[in-house]
Structure 1
Amino acid sequence: MITIKRPVDLPDTYPLERIGPLKELLFFDIETTGFSGDTSQLYLIGCTYHDGFGWKLIQWFADTRDSEGQLLEAFFTFMERFKVLVHFNGDGFDIPYLLKRCKHLGLNYNFDKITSLDLYKKIKPYRKLLGLENMKQKSIEAFLGVSREDKYSGGQLIDVYREYLMTRQTLLYDLLILHNEDDLRGMPSILPILSYPDLMESPFSLLSQQACSCENNQGTDCAFLNLVWKSPYTVPVQLSYDCYPVSLELHQDTLTCNIALYQGELKYFYPNYKDYYYLPLEDAAIHKSVGAYVDKNARRKATAKTCYTRKQGLFLPQFGSLWAPALREDYKASLTYTQYSPELLSDTDCADTYARQLLSYVSEKNRL
């Protein structure tokens, strides 16, 4: 086994204290000869950490096929001094792989005493919101505007490692070590993506709301509501969406939204339609306890589609179960409304929930 340890310069891209005390954080990445921990071999583990004076890089390299166990022993012993293990998709691959290799070699090591922070899992719930094509690290780098060119993939380096074992060429050794180092150096570049989970997992504070109107293409006045929220966190890349009835922009720590208000008549559909009669002349449903006194020729059994009462006014779209009663344009309409008043969002929790519902709604639509 060969051990490499030296100082390394890592960019300050994200406030790591949000994850934990600096000295408790260990970033790691592994290199293997395949995807299966049952049939392939671990040949390199690399870590970066802060020792209180600066960032350090440490790598353990299997320079022979039978030194894999030494790598595992060195890594797990070293890991004991840390409390948080940071990685990209390590919960899905690296950690299960290492545990399988330990089992194969009869080594009694585990990750029970360290907290695992998987950047992949942390970001995945917000993939649609961010408009990520997939969850590959390169897609996240592209979203953040990070340009990093990998000359070799992990798969290509498998043959490089096998050739190294046969030839011991320094050039091949350098390629293997450098690739792992580049992966570790690249991890800080994607850490700013954590600002989005930070923002989504913290409360939004409503700064202002203003009912406005504008003239559409037909010359008709259209009412809309302008809402502005603030977050304790700042995001690195602006997000913009426009999916009727919502136009939304997330910029730094500010969420700004314009929402089209509905002016006119909507319907409230009673859930238990079998308890109601429908009155065609009044175009409304009434409870059977009252409808029993109505002439039989002026009533009929209500159906799910006719069991409603009508209401006129100015209405705010809602994108989840927040306010009752929830009204619709027709029975099959997915979008519901509530009668608008400024007091709707006066409650801090309601305002926060509404912001999250808006973000969830637009993330399901096409991103502009």
Structure 2
Amino acid sequence: MIRNTFSILNGIGDKLERKLWGAGILTWDKFIGAPDITFISAHKKTFFDESLSSALNALDHADAAYFARAIKRRDHWRLYDIFKEESACLDIETNGFMPGSGGVVTVIGIYDGFDYKCFIRDENLTAESVMEEISRYKYLITFYGSGFDIPYLLRAIPGLKFDIPHFDVCFGTRRLGFRGGLKRLESELGIARDEIVKDMNGYDAVKLWEHAQRGSSDALKILKLYNKEDTVNLYAIAGIVYQRLRTQTGIEHYL
């Protein structure tokens, strides 16, 4: 999808992008190779050609950081098919308070489509361990992470950086007309959750952490399972949402 994306260019929105598609300009290469485009001035086209050439070079080198800067955040989902093999689904649990008011991150879960890694407060959750793990990926997937998880982490773990594209599935589903949280989305898509944590929510995760702090190994085990289900299911959901967002653009009509 990213090679069909012209909203990367300043001044080009969804309407003009579809106009380009309708004119047979479906990819960056087609745009650059066209001698002229009737509804884009020669001056602008020269500038756009340079921008797209830079984007193609970044794509050839899998430079995810370039696209994190160059593409509007609302369009980061369009990079999914390019970076999905190097992506990480991230979800955090907290003690129920905000940073600065006694809030701490209790669990960070990361799933890459194959392995789930769990970072637990007072065990293996450190700024260094989390940054080292995040540095392995080129694409971040969350559910409302741009509104909660990432801002919370940046405040709670000084020095942590996220300079890669970020597909926030929550806002992707909003564009598709869906209203509700991750659990409701799982239900609508027929994605199952382990029975042990099927009916749990964020408040339950806070209470489990409190029990774990009092020495309950079972509570910690269930908390980890709850977090794992969030990240693993999100990985499956991201692929579905990406395909539906792609269809919504209308690109398939022009291919």
Give the shorter-chain TM-score range.
0.5 to 0.7
Match of 1:89 in 2: 144
Residue pair 1:30, 1:45 contacting (<8 A) in 2 also: yes
Counterparts of 2:187 and 2:212, CA distance in 1 = 33
Superposition deviation, residue 204 in structure 1: 4.9
Name which of 199, 222, 228 aligns with 1:175.
222
SS in 2 for 1:161: helix
Q: TM-score under structure 2 normalisation?
A: 0.60
The higher radius of gyration belongs to 1
Residue pair 1:161, 1:176 contacting (<8 A) in 2 also: yes
**Number of matched pairs:** 173
Larger fraction in helix: 2
SS in 1 for 2:176: helix
* Unaligned runs of at least 5 residues, structure 1: 1-15, 206-230, 233-368
SS in 1 for 2:207: helix
Counterparts of 1:194 and 1:162, CA distance in 2 = 37
Match of 1:29 in 2: 91
SS in 2 for 1:73: helix
Match of 1:121 in 2: 171
Match of 1:56 in 2: 115
Q: Show the 5 A alignment for 1:277-356.
A: none
Match of 2:10 in 1: none
Matched to 2:168, the amino acid is: D
More RCO (CA 8 Å, sep 6+): 2
Match of 1:77 in 2: 132
Counterparts of 1:201 and 1:88, CA distance in 2 = 21
RMSD: 2.5
Q: Establish whether residue 109 from structure 1 lines up as the match of residue 160 from structure 2.
A: yes
* Unaligned runs of at least 5 residues, structure 2: 1-77
Residue pair 2:89, 2:232 contacting (<8 A) in 1 also: no
Q: TM-score under structure 1 normalisation?
A: 0.43
CA 1:157–1:204: 2 relative to 1, 3 Å: closer
Matched to 1:188, the amino acid is: Y
Counterparts of 2:199 and 2:127, CA distance in 1 = 27
Residue pair 1:45, 1:71 contacting (<8 A) in 2 also: no
Larger fraction in strand: 1
Name which of 189, 195, 220 aligns with 1:144.
189
Q: Deviations over 1:157-195 (max 9, x none)?
A: 2122122212x2221221111111111222134231322
CA 1:158–1:95: 2 relative to 1, 3 Å: same
